[in-house]
A and B are shown apart, each in its own frame.
Chain A
Amino acid sequence: MTAPDWGFPSALDDVSGAVAIAGVGEADHTKASGRTTKQIAAQAIERALADAGLTPADVDGLMYTPFDGHQFTADDFRAHFGTSRELWVSTLGGGMVWAGSAPYEAALAIRTGHASTIVNVFSVAWATQRAEMMGGPGEVHAAELFKQNLEVPFGWFPQPVYFATIARRHMAEYGTTAEQLGAIAVACRRHANLTPAAVMREKPLTLAQYLASPMLCDPFRKEDCCLISDGGGAYVMTSVERARDLRRPLVRVAGVGVGTSHTGAYWSQQGDFTATPQVFAASGAFRMAGMTPADVDVLACYDPFTIVSLMQIEDMGFCAKGEGGPFVTGSTLHFDGGRLPYNTHGGMLSHAYVLGIAHVVELVRQLRGEAAAQVPDARVAAYGGYTGPQASTLIMERA
């Protein structure tokens, strides 16, 4: 079999064992709340530092994504926490793909002495912004001029339509069924029902209810699509040596991989329409970790839509390409006895639409044994990050 040529893996230094995640925190995840993106970020950082047993003065590095102009910057950090020190700053942090690759950049910064205690933070106030008829996840695509002039005029917009089209091709090509997509939504909802911080904690979902619900953009129903919510999260990274002296059980980063598609965010033109750049990301992360997918006790993937979960599970090597449908059927993804416990907090479908940062927070809690839907004796966890143009794999282990 020839290697796929529609993208490429990043060449990364080996950072296995170089960095630990010493503290995690989530802001309150809510429907429209009137809060700003920065207020949400500040709450998440406060909670992550408290979790680690650190103070704002200990922080000398900050990572975020500058993507919507509202993210929490070094100036915001100093103003909010009343500190004055200069911070090492990287904009290769935040959520999505960067929730998985930020530990790589942090490991390099720690190794080269640029920083010792680095916060990665991400937050959104999209529920509030949508209620105010501004912003939100679709706007960035409508503003892109090739999409505005070649896709939107044909109703090929916004994200639910992109991914419904991908799902349709996956179904036609591989025989994937509505019941199989529904199994993903049901597993995520069940986990959210057990998770106090989840937006959908009070709303159960059965497969029968899923199948009976109306089509939004066929083959997608509402439950195939992520929430829109206000919320955020943060995690604190430091060296493994230093993390040993902190208060929390040691969770160290074992492997990181990053993959990129040549066609960027033009899903319509992606070389392999029913795959993700995990094809190029995951194997490098497992190689760095000296592990295989069979070693993973709990998986969390960036899941804007059920099909993105399915494709990443395939592309990360948990089953063969095209066999994701049969693989996820039934209780495979459930935390209590499933073969591959998945998005055990409910993911973006049912926990909160905070673009992956809460996935990493949840996995750290799983490895510490303190999650709400706890996988028994979880020792190895993997996060699949995704933005469309890029994917990342982050492998963490309990030391």
Chain B
Amino acid sequence: MKFRAEFPLPDVEWEPTRPFWAGAARSELVLPRCDACGRFVWYPDGACRRCGGAAHTWTAVSGRGRLFSWSIVHRPFIPQLADLVPFVTALVAVEEDPAVRLATFVVDCPHDRLALDMPVAVTFRPLRFAGVAGSVTAPLFAPRQP
């Protein structure tokens, strides 16, 4: 199978997640919210998984959340990640709707301070990968005071 030359950088033009990456580029964390029930629809989907509503509006959230879980990756499973190990890849539960979990990197945190449900806040940083041209600004997360 052939992947885009930019892989594993995201395809910021792919329509279902384009607003997410456009938001990150202006340092905003935006997520699709169901107009009918007000809950977030993550991953983006035609119908709200909770109420079935079809109209969703990309909405800015606070960028605060909790560290839901994580792994410290020592072995790069794809060569593009080779320069980054060891890195902390994680899921963050967002404050406005903890059922929404964002995959992210945890930054600015010693590994021995990582803790379940630790308060974190978004920080926008460029993603760069070995052997891949260019970068994309992405929402990463760092510890915050509760």
A positions within 8 Å CB-CB of B: 134-135, 138-139, 142-143, 145-146, 148-158, 160-161, 164-166, 168-169, 172-173, 214-220, 262, 266, 268-269, 271, 273
Asked if residues A153 and B138 are in contact (CB atoms below 8 Å), the reply is yes
Asked if residues A138 and B77 are in contact (CB atoms below 8 Å), the reply is yes
Q: How far is the CB of B19 from chain A (nearest CB, A)?
A: 12
Knowing A145-B14, A169-B69, A220-B71, the reply to whether A268 touches B101 (Cβ < 8 A) is yes
Q: 0/1 per residue, B21-50, Cβ < 8 Å to A?
A: 100000000000000000000111000010
Q: How far is the CB of B22 from chain A (nearest CB, A)?
A: 13
Asked if residues B116 and A169 are in contact (CB atoms below 8 Å), the reply is yes
Asked if residues A166 and B74 are in contact (CB atoms below 8 Å), the reply is no
Asked if residues B116 and A155 are in contact (CB atoms below 8 Å), the reply is no
Asked if residues A148 and B10 are in contact (CB atoms below 8 Å), the reply is yes
List, in ascending order, chain A residues with CB within 8 A of B127's CB. Answer: 153-154
| Interface range, B side | 35 or more
Q: Which residue of the partner chain B has the closest CB to A164?
A: B71
Asked if residues A218 and B77 are in contact (CB atoms below 8 Å), the reply is no
Knowing A164-B71, A172-B116, the reply to whether A155 touches B105 (Cβ < 8 A) is yes
List, in ascending order, chain A residues with CB within 8 A of B75's CB. Answer: 216-217
How far does the alpha carbon of A113 sit from the alpha carbon of B101 in the complex, in Å? 48
Q: CB within 8 A of B71: which of A150, A152, A217? A: A217
Q: How far is the CB of A304 from chain B (nearest CB, A)?
A: 14
Knowing A168-B69, A217-B71, A218-B72, the reply to whether A146 touches B136 (Cβ < 8 A) is no
Q: 0/1 per residue, B76-91, Cβ < 8 Å to A?
A: 0110010010010111
Q: Which residue of the partner chain B has the closest CB to A138?
A: B77
List, in ascending order, chain B residues with CB within 8 A of A166's CB. Answer: 69
Asked if residues B91 and A268 are in contact (CB atoms below 8 Å), the reply is yes
Q: Which residue of the partner chain B has the closest CB to A218?
A: B72
Asked if residues B49 and A165 are in contact (CB atoms below 8 Å), the reply is no
Q: Which residue of the partner chain A has the closest CB to B103?
A: A156
Q: Which residue of the partner chain B has the closest CB to A142?
A: B3
Is B96 close to A, CB under 8 A? no
Q: CB within 8 A of B73: which of A138, A149, A217? A: A217
List, in ascending order, chain A residues with CB within 8 A of B43's CB. Answer: 146, 150, 266, 269
How far does the alpha carbon of A345 sit from the alpha carbon of B3 in the complex, in Å? 37
Q: Which residue of the partner chain A has the closest CB to B2?
A: A143
Asked if residues B74 and A217 are in contact (CB atoms below 8 Å), the reply is yes
Asked if residues B89 and A154 are in contact (CB atoms below 8 Å), the reply is yes
Asked if residues A155 and B73 are in contact (CB atoms below 8 Å), the reply is yes
Sampled A-B contacts (22; CB under 8 Å):
A146-B43, A148-B3, A149-B11, A150-B17, A151-B103, A152-B7, A152-B8, A154-B104, A154-B105, A154-B140, A155-B87, A156-B90, A157-B77, A158-B77, A165-B89, A168-B70, A169-B116, A172-B69, A215-B72, A218-B71, A220-B71, A266-B43
List, in ascending order, chain A residues with CB within 8 A of B5's CB. Answer: none
Q: For chain B, residues 104 to 123, give those with C-beta under 8 angstroms from any C-beta of chain A.
A: 104-105, 115-116
Is B68 close to A, CB under 8 A? yes
Asked if residues A269 and B42 are in contact (CB atoms below 8 Å), the reply is yes
Q: 0/1 per residue, B46-77, Cβ < 8 Å to A?
A: 00010000000000000000001111111101
Asked if residues A273 and B69 are in contact (CB atoms below 8 Å), the reply is yes
List, in ascending order, chain A residues with CB within 8 A of B105's CB. Answer: 154-155
Is B9 close to A, CB under 8 A? yes
How far does the alpha carbon of A152 sit from the alpha carbon of B42 in the complex, in Å? 16
How far does the alpha carbon of A141 sit from the alpha carbon of B4 in the complex, in Å? 15
How far does the alpha carbon of A269 sit from the alpha carbon of B69 in the complex, in Å? 12
How far does the alpha carbon of A157 sit from the alpha carbon of B81 in the complex, in Å? 11
Q: CB within 8 A of A169: which of B8, B9, B68? A: B68
How far does the alpha carbon of A135 sit from the alpha carbon of B69 in the complex, in Å? 29
How far does the alpha carbon of A138 sit from the alpha carbon of B78 in the complex, in Å? 10
Q: How far is the CB of A262 from chain B (nearest CB, A)?
A: 7
List, in ascending order, chain A residues with CB within 8 A of B16's CB. Answer: 145-146, 149
List, in ascending order, chain B residues with CB within 8 A of A214's CB. Answer: 74
How far does the alpha carbon of A247 sit from the alpha carbon of B104 in the complex, in Å? 57
